[in-house]
A and B are shown apart, each in its own frame.
Chain A
Amino acid sequence: GAGVSQSPRYKVAKRGQDVALRCDPISGHVSLFWYQQALGQGPEFLTYFQNEAQLDKSGLPSDRFFAERPEGSVSTLKIQRTQQEDSAVYLCASSLEARTQQFFGPGTRLTVL
Chain B
Amino acid sequence: AQSVTQLGSHVSVSEGALVLLRCNYSSSVPPYLFWYVQYPNQGLQLLLKYTSAATLVKGINGFEAEFKKSETSFHLTKPSAHMSDAAEYFCAVSDPDTGNQFYFGTGTSLTVIP
Contacts and interface: CB of A to CB of B under 8 A. Distances in A.
Contacts of B43: 3-4, 91, 104-107
Interface string B72-114: 0000000000000000001010101011111111110000000
Interface in A1-28: 3-4
Given A98-B98, A98-B99, A99-B96, A104 B104 contact: no
Interface residues of A, number: 27
Interface stretch (A36-44, A62-70, A72-80): A36-44
Interface string A100-112: 1111111100000
Contact of B32 (A42, A44, A99): A99
A44 B101 CA distance: 9
Interface residues of B, number: 26
B46 A44 contact: no
A61 to B, nearest CB: 15
A43 B101 contact: no
Nearest to A50: B100
Interface of A: 3-4, 33, 35, 40-45, 48, 55-56, 59, 91, 93, 97-107
26 contacts: A33-B102, A35-B102, A35-B104, A42-B92, A42-B105, A43-B90, A43-B104, A45-B103, A48-B100, A56-B101, A91-B43, A91-B44, A97-B99, A98-B98, A98-B100, A99-B32, A99-B96, A99-B99, A100-B99, A101-B49, A102-B46, A104-B36, A106-B41, A106-B42, A106-B43, A107-B43
